[in-house]
Amino acid sequence: MRDKSIIRWGIIGAGDIAERVTAPAMASAAHSELVAVMRRDRTAAEEFAGRHGASRAYDRVEGLLGDPEIDAVYVATPVERHCPDVLAAATSGKHILCEKPLALSVLEGERMRVACELADVLFMTCYYQRFNARHRRIKELLAAGEIGQVTSVRMNFSGRSPQCPGAWRQDRSKSGGGVYIDNGSHCIDLLRFFFGEITAVTAFVDTLVESYSVEDTVSSILRLSNGAQAVVTCHWSTGDPDDDRNAIMEILGTEGAILSSPQHEKFSRGRLVVATGSGEQTYSFEESTHVNMLEEFAATVAEGRLPAVGIEDGIAAQRVVEAVYESSRSGRVVRLQ
């Protein structure tokens, strides 16, 4: 008899992120097993399956979703495919882990939410940074009032993304936007994880360097529900080779500061410093964000409870992204509450 605490996974969109991060995490997670993968190129799908120990490969979504030995699917297709792939997975009765950003629009996200509720399947949005041990420790420090009243947050999540023919992230019709929907959505989700809802935004959104159809440079100011202000900058137009500066977070309070980088580190490694009047304390960690996320997913299924980061979180982040784009277009503050 099989162990029902083990989630048997199928991957829809066996591409780069699944290759580098998620499939290896499935091999390491105690309650995950990769069973099958899907990619339109059948040969590439079979090669991926061979590298990662999956027993089956498909070149059609319908084939994978019809596999009775799959409990849940990881949707890692381009954003334009998230909604149709999630709707199909829900109809097939599969639980779902979906890459971020959730969808091309809030409207698509709401369609996905309704489909999952009607099918009674679990849905988790793949905001893996909530499972970074550094970020979990930051949440504890904030709850304990370690740096007093938080008044300001600064996040930079940047890098260089030159023009690349055929890159779906650089095609608005496939991605829904550029660096802000891709990188900035992580910042938005972390802000919500730490502080609750975002109530208003104002932003400049530009394409300064490249000629693709999406933005490569964004500066945004967000008001948090506690009144604090957050500045989030995202660039595909900067060439700084230092990952610490490219993905840094600073949380400033009346009694001190918290500094953490790099934000996107997949194994929680990096720098976490808490500076107060009594001195500085440094923390170090080594935990896989994606293994932690997969274990949470399995526990959620086993316990029949809501996930730590659900479809509502994906929709909320999408709503803020859309407000940032609207603020830049209109030249005004966009209020969310």
Residue at 152 is within a domain? yes
pLDDT category of residue 139 using cuts at 50, 70 and 90: very high
Burial class of residue 337 in the structure, from the number of CB atoms within 10 Å of its CB (0-12 exposed, 13-18 middle, 19+ buried): exposed
- pLDDT tens figures, 52-93: 999 999 999 999 999 999 999 999 999 999 999 999 999 999
In this structure, the strands spanning 217-224 and 229-235 are: antiparallel
Within this chain, do residues 216 and 86 fall inside the same structural domain, yes or no?
Answer: no
Ramachandran sector of residue 336 (left: φ over 0; alpha: ψ -120 to 50; beta: rest): alpha
Say whether pTM exceeds 0.85. yes
Within this chain, do residues 262 and 225 fall inside the same structural domain, yes or no?
Answer: yes
Residue at 213 is within a domain? yes
pLDDT category of residue 1 using cuts at 50, 70 and 90: low
CATH code of 15's domain: 3.40.50.720
Number of domains in the chain: 2
CATH code of 269's domain: 3.30.360.10
Cα distances from 212 to residues 128, 159, 253, in angstroms, run 28, 16, 39
Within this chain, do residues 304 and 325 fall inside the same structural domain, yes or no?
Answer: no
- pLDDT tens figures, 211-245: 999 999 999 999 999 999 999 999 999 999 998 89
Within this chain, do residues 30 and 144 fall inside the same structural domain, yes or no?
Answer: no
- The CA angle 328-179-15, to the nearest 5 degrees, is 150
- List residues bridging with 283 in a β-sheet: 272
Q: Quick check: 142 pLDDT over 90?
A: yes
Within this chain, do residues 230 and 182 fall inside the same structural domain, yes or no?
Answer: yes
Confidence at residue 3, expressed as pLDDT on a 0 to 100 scale: 81
Residue at 2 is within a domain? no
Within this chain, do residues 158 and 226 fall inside the same structural domain, yes or no?
Answer: yes
- pLDDT tens figures, 182-194: 999 999 999 999 9
Within this chain, do residues 111 and 241 fall inside the same structural domain, yes or no?
Answer: no
Q: Please give the distance of CA 304 from its chain centroid, rounded to a whole number.
A: 23
In this structure, the strands spanning 247-253 and 229-235 are: unpaired
Within this chain, do residues 150 and 282 fall inside the same structural domain, yes or no?
Answer: yes
Q: What residues make up the domain containing 27? A: 7-128+291-308
Residue at 272 is within a domain? yes
- pLDDT tens figures, 243-287: 889 999 999 999 999 999 999 999 999 999 999 999 999 999 999
Q: How far apart are the first and last CA of the chain?
A: 51
Residues 246/159, Cβ–Cβ less than 8 Å: yes
Percentage above 70 pLDDT, the chain: 99
Within this chain, do residues 212 and 279 fall inside the same structural domain, yes or no?
Answer: yes
Confidence at residue 337, expressed as pLDDT on a 0 to 100 scale: 82
Calculate the average pLDDT of the chain.
97
